[in-house]
Structure 1
Amino acid sequence: MIAFKSIKLRNWKNFGNVTATLSDRIFVIGANASGKSNFLDSFRFLKDVATDGLQKAVKARGGIEKIRNLNARNPSYVEISVILQELNDGKTTDWQYILQFNYAGGSQGKRDTNISLEKIIKDGEIIKERRYNDSGEDYLSKQFTLLEQPAINGSFRPIYEGFRNISYVNIIPQLIRESDSFIPSNAAEDFYGRNLLETISATPERTRNSRLNVINKVLKMAVPQFSNLSFIPDEKGRPHLQVKYNHFRPQGAYQREDQFSDGTLRLFGIIWAILDGEGLMLLEEPELYLHSEIVKQLPMFIANAQKLKNGGKRQVIISSHSYDLLNTDTIALDEIILLKQGKEDTTIEAADELESVNVKIQAGYTPADAVIPQVAPEGIRDGQLSLFEFN
């Protein structure tokens, strides 16, 4: 098992030079356009580098022109640096991976990417380091990381595996409902739940039933009439979710996923994703489609699902700007980081290091009351901004 302990971003999109400390569960809180998605994308970028290579990862984001902070000066390179901790048979190993990259030659829009620095540190000792001007490096070798080469990365394979196991989840209920068009997919990843039923179908029956039992208990807390969650094929052999709703009819009524509410499907998909797989999971705005009272319970649902992972918790990073999500006493301040927009870039602050936030928590306020005002658009709480003022 490997967990991310911190990340440093330099000239990455709207982040100039920031560092964030990470725990098993982190809530990334910020206003609209503050950079929440860009923060999550830095982890997805590391996964893409390990899976597809640096050049493809950069081009998939529109080239360095789209990645590098518009206000980058000197140094102008883009840097992502992470500290990880590996736990294996009770032994802890600390790792650090540093990657700096910049323009190579080529015309606008066709430029390749050169590695300025790549460094790998194990328990405080540098085991690999290469720089742009190292002897023996030619034009081509500077475009490939050590990380993406299995023949080379054996001595730091845990970093490689940690990056490859990163997953991104943003469940879209409408896609899950398309069960009538169930077609096995060759896609490497399913960010939005399009192939959730396919994934469940491919899961060994014993594991599948165990997870469905857990999800049934969680969903019953959110929807009291909900019971008997199961996974069954229809007359054509296509897989479906089925649940019994207890209501005024003595025997209740059964429904399939195409009749589930958006919130029920999204919550189901989120919990299944936490239980299904290893490594860091990126969860974007989980409050979408959910009733405010359910949103308040989400942190507890996520924490309970994390505890069920064999060998330790699955690390989850959650982005949000929802008051309801933080309106609970089940989130600690050291699990919250704040994104604040400045004139040139976005900064990151740890909630537990802000005196004004700590004062409110000590006075009995929830994290929502203590934190949300910190990231609200400037002037909106003072009545300076109004949706009704168009002139």
Structure 2
Amino acid sequence: MKQGQGEYIAMNTSPITRIVIKRFRSFPSAVLELDNPLFVVGRNGSGKSNLADVFSFVAEAMSSPLQAVLDRKGGISAVRNRSSVKSAPPNLGLAFEFGAFNGIAGGRFAFEIKALPNYGFRIVREQCLVCGKSGIRWWFDRSDIWKSNADGLTPALEPTALALPLVGGDERFACILKVLSAMRVYSIEPAKLREMQDPDSGIVLKPDGSNAASVLQELSRGENAKSVRQEVFRILESIVPETKAVAHKKHGNKWSMSFSQEWGEGKKLTFDAFSMSDGTLRSLGLIMAVFQKPSPSVLVIEEPEATIHPGALGAVLDLIRRAAKTMQVVVTTHSPELLDAKWITDNNLRIVSWQEGASHLLMPSAATREAMRSDLMGAGELLRANALHAEDLFASDDALRNGSLFETLA
């Protein structure tokens, strides 16, 4: 457990320790050191959503063909970083580093993609490493040829296909695939919760919350369903006073939700979702994201403060804090009110800035860290005073900032 992080966090809830980003969207190069929970702060247009897309891009690539993932995101030309210098299209790459979790001592997964003419692409290199607690290391390293010390792995690979989704069924690499495929990114859209919804399994909440009724129904199943629903209702009421319960509701082959409000003695009203405020619906979407089963390995929430009254953000912070007990949490925000909690330290902050035509991911400046550690000002106060500054772009070790995608494994 990291000092100053708070006793509510367990080590095994933070499998990912570091992410190396190379030429992805607006980031030419960046390294994200993760804490739990982590608050990523930045102005509008700085690149916070592009950072969140790192998680969704990799998670989707673990369960869908890479071509389909790129097509959904606008193609390889939209995903790779665009340089102002006219030259050959740069390769994009991502690397995820892991600490101890689920019986392993650590691990790593990385890949690099090259853009080709006519919107094509190919995998230049892909690498995965799993370090067991006994000292044994299992790895594969795929470029023009396949190399691995894991006997029995000989996948037939297309140049456009990642190997990990194919070999991740092998117990030696399954833990890495499980974490990456279970990452979830949410930008809750109240209008989607207000609409009639198509029912589904309710096992995974959609990124915009558009199947919240199905997730709510799924939480009604199982031996602990009653206590889970009571906790959901308690948290919802702490954000939206007098809202005592919410339930899924059938309309032919569509589902919606109804909310119950109570006050005084015996006074009760029921409202359909289309009558509820944006803040109420976004709050419910955030709660469903945290309580869905199975839980995400990494939960990324984009700007949870939107349309929620500042006075209710304390309850949203409590929800984030609760989530960090069972999963890794990353929150993007530009809200001082969301950062007002005293338990948020400088270790929980990263700053995204837009400089010289690109996004940069930085640690808080030395002055900012000192102000927080000396209890002179909290993160919210610093942001409100326009004094939550990032370190200088060239202040830290360039090798540490840029990181490396691949290791020498053999």
TM-score by length of 2: 0.77
User: Equivalences for 1:3-14 in 2 at 5 Å?
Assistant: 3-14=15-26
Query: Are 1:108 and 2:125 matched, yes or no?
Result: no
- Give how far 1:272 is off: 2.0
Tell me which of 338, 342, 360 is aligned to 2:351: 338
Aligned to 1:383: none
Distance (whole Å) between structure 1 residues aligned to residue 250 and residue 112 of structure 2: 52
Match of 1:326 in 2: 339
Q: Deviation per CA, 1:301-345, whole angstroms, max 9, x where unpaired? A: 2212443xxxxx211111111122112213122111100111032
> How far apart are the structure 2 equivalents of 1:252 and 1:234?
25
Q: In the alignment, what sits opposite 2:230? A: 213
Q: Which residue of 2 aligns with 1:198?
A: 214
Moved more, 55-64 or 159-168: 55-64
* 1:74/1:356 CA distance change after superposition, 3 Å: farther
Of residues 78, 81, 97 in structure 2, which corresponds to 1:66?
A: 78
Q: Distance in 1 between matches of 2:22 and 2:279?
A: 37
- Are the equivalent residues in 1 in contact too, given 2:238–2:315 (CA < 8 A)? no
Cα distance, 1:357 vs structure 2: 0.6
Q: 1:183 aligns with which of 193, 198, 201?
A: 198
CA apart distance, 1:86: 5.0
Q: Deviation at 1:117? A: 1.5
Distance (Å, rounded) in 2 between the aligned partners of 1:115 and 1:234: 46
* Counterpart for residue 161 of structure 1: 178
Unaligned runs of 5+ in 2: 1-11, 148-153, 391-410
Q: Deviations over 1:157-206 (max 9, x none)?
A: 1111112111122222222223xx34324897622122111222233154
- State the distance in 2 between where 1:190 and 1:75 align: 33
Structure 1 position 70, deviation (Å) = 1.4
Quick check: 2:47–2:352 contact (8 Å CA) kept in 1? yes
> Alignment partner for residue 270 of structure 1, among 286, 304, 309?
286
Give the total of aligned pairs: 358
Corresponding residue of 1:386: none
> Aligned-pair RMSD on alpha carbons?
3.2
Note if 1:35 corresponds to 2:47.
yes
Conservation of the 8 A alpha-carbon contact between 1:54 and 1:143:
yes
Q: Distance in 1 between matches of 2:23 and 2:61?
A: 18
Q: Contact conserved, 1:119 with 1:129, CA < 8 A, in 2?
A: yes
Sequence identity percentage: 19
Structure 1 pair 8–261 and aligned structure 2 pair: CA distance change class (3 A):
same
- The Cα of 1:5 is off from its aligned counterpart by 1.2
Q: Map of 1:1-391 to 2, 5 A cutoff?
A: 3-71=15-83, 76-85=90-99, 87-88=101-102, 91-104=103-116, 107-109=117-119, 111=120, 113-123=121-131, 125=137, 127-132=139-144, 141-150=158-167, 154-178=171-195, 181-185=196-200, 190-203=206-219, 204=221, 206-227=223-244, 229-231=245-247, 233=249, 240-247=257-264, 250-258=265-273, 259-276=275-292, 277-278=294-295, 279-307=297-325, 313-351=326-364, 354-361=365-372, 362-371=374-383, 373=386
Structure ranking higher in helix proportion: 1
Secondary structure class of the residue paired with 1:338:
strand
Give 1:240 deviation, angstroms.
3.6
What amino acid is aligned across from residue 271 of structure 2 in structure 1?
Answer: R
DSSP-derived class of the 2:176 partner:
helix
Gaps of 5+ in 1: 308-312, 378-391
Task: Write the letter of the residue equivalent to 1:51.
Answer: S
